[in-house]
Amino acid sequence: MGKRENEDEDEINLINAEFESMVEGLSLDESAPTTYLDELDQFEKENRFTPPAIPKKTLMQQYREARQAIQRWIKNSENQKPDEGGSI
């Protein structure tokens, strides 16, 4: 059992040494004015989509546009061939 314990201890020491070598290069200095998450939030705020302002229309303008659209739709449907399935 002594040999097995030495192998386990050697393995633990190797793992600890590897961990210490990785951690040694890290800086725990938190004096940075911003973090990555702060920069990401700022990027999202700057690049946020702002929809364009849609001009308001009177009821009469809406009616005229709807009537024109329906007339165009009827005119276009008259030009359809019955084989195409676009007839009314």
Percent of the chain residues topping a pLDDT of 70: 76
CB 86 within 8 A of CB 77: yes
Q: Which pLDDT score is estimated for 83? A: 63
| Confidence check: pLDDT of 86 > 60 | no
Mean pLDDT, range 9-37, rounded to an integer: 79
Residue 44 burial (CB count, 10 A): 9
CA 68 to the chain's CA centroid: 39
| Confidence check: pLDDT of 53 > 80 | yes
Name the residue among 64, 59, 86 with its Cα closest to residue 73.
86
Q: Which pLDDT score is estimated for 29? A: 64
Mean pLDDT, range 39-47, rounded to an integer: 79
Lowest mean pLDDT among 1-10, 48-57, 63-72, 78-87: 78-87
